Chain A
Amino acid sequence: DSGVTQTPKHLITATGQRVTLRCSPRSGDLSVYWYQQSLDQGLQFLIQYYNGEERAKGNILERFSAQQFPDLHSELNLSSLELGDSALYFCASSEGWGGGEKLFFGSGTQLSVL
């Protein structure tokens, strides 16, 4: 158990809909990262937050947004969903923000867009 909690584990929705994925980092970790993993693909970095502030942005679509709350949990909002958004979404956390941090991954949210 990495200590990173992601909910829900599975999400099935239709095209055009909006969903919210939730992540609680390990106790003491201030950074939260979101990654997208498509079938047989690597991990695509979406966005990073550190102590409530956006720290780095990757190839995140404009239809996607995220935030980190004062209690350090984070939410990833995906809107106007398309079939191609079906993927496994991982949240990871780390103590610092420097980019060379050891990442602890949650068990992921499997999103299926039908």
Chain B
Amino acid sequence: GQQVMQIPQYQHVQEGEDFTTYCNSSTTLSNIQWYKQRPGGHPVFLIQLVKSGEVKKQKRLTFQFGEAKKNSSLHITATQTTDVGTYFCAGLSGSARQLTFGSGTQLTVLP
């Protein structure tokens, strides 16, 4: 079945440093979504990417979808303490009927 791998599992950064999490799928994806889960909270939708090579920005967050539509990344510039949480990617392949979530990257931002 479809597998979505996400690395790293944990990341500690100093406030102001950049952060990147990577998502890789075993199959070609029709789209990929990103969610953020704050500690003790629930996942909240951030963005969806559909096109090959697509790049979208939300303030300090940059999302990319690979040319082959098998990988994606989320880059945060100049992290802030409000960025703390776990970031999940979730991909949908052509044959699947539901999203497959990656295992998440837990981001800690040290003040």
Contacts and interface: CB of A to CB of B under 8 A. Distances in A.
Size bin of chain A's contact surface: 20 to 34
Interface stretch (B13-21, B42-50, B52-60, B70-78): B42-50
A99 B97 contact: yes
Classify the interface of chain B: helix, strand, loop or mixed.
strand
A13 B96 CA distance: 35
A56 B97 contact: yes
Given A56-B97, A99-B92, A42 B102 contact: yes
Contacts of A102: 33, 45, 48
Contacts of A99: 92, 96-99
Contacts of B41: 107
B30 to A, nearest CB: 7
A64 interface: no
Contact of A90 (B6, B42, B100): B42
